[in-house]
Amino acid sequence: MSSRNGTTRRLVVITAGMSVPSSTRRLADRLAEAAGAALRARGMRPEIEVVELRELAHEITDHLLTGLPPGRLREVVGKVAAADGLIAVTPVFNASFSGLFKSFFDALDRDAVAGKPVLIGATGGSERHSLVLDHAMRPLFAYLHAIVAPTAVYAASADWGPARDGSPELLERVERAGGELADLVSGRLPARRPDRDLVPFEELVSGG
């Protein structure tokens, strides 16, 4: 039975971390857990598969040279196309997503993620790299015609804290983002959150 006709929702998690373990994989796992819990709260059964791009690096390179996705890469490309939603997380390299991350999405068919809900995340050493979410990742998925969840999640080294479980602020963003992806995957519009910096019109007019 197709996941779109039942209660099962299939999520594919793409993580481009290069080390083992990696903070990128850690963030990807947190986002997957949050999205899975949110789907269950909405009466759906999540099926989640995590793909470590570092394990496909040679096949991704072969695809760049030949234009044909070999073996395991072809299988993963098919799973991405068939998924109900994606979680995509990359480390920040030179103020952008990693080359491995970009090369994987270059391997997809042009319409593979068109109309598909996507939750984006990134990791880096400091908070100043967080702009990668809006300056690089959102434009990439807009070009691919995906539907990107409103909340994107960036985790700097300091966000993990001494226990490596994640700061309260990080975990709050993760939970919110997971709920938004679950809303999109289940066909519900994510609730709009008020902009904390929004100044009421009356206050602008009065000069207050």
- Average pLDDT, integer, range 80-92: 96
Report the first-to-last Cα separation within the chain, whole angstroms. 59
What pLDDT is stored for residue 20 in this prediction?
81
Domain definitions of the chain by residue range = 8-206
pLDDT tens per residue, range 32-55: 999 999 999 999 999 999 999 999
pLDDT tens per residue, range 138-197: 999 999 999 999 999 999 988 886 656 778 899 999 999 999 999 999 986 554 444 433
Strand-pairing partners, residue 92, are 97
Give pTM, 2 decimals. Answer: 0.86
- For the domain spanning 8-206, the CATH number is 3.40.50.360
Distances (CA, A) of 139 to 4, 40, 198: 27, 30, 25
Q: Which long-range contacts (CB under 8 A, 24 or more apart) does 184-193 make?
A: 184/85, 184/117, 184/147, 184/149, 185/9, 185/11, 185/35, 185/39, 185/44, 185/84, 185/85, 185/117, 186/9, 186/39, 186/42, 186/44, 188/42, 190/149, 190/150, 192/150, 193/150
What pLDDT is stored for residue 79 in this prediction?
95
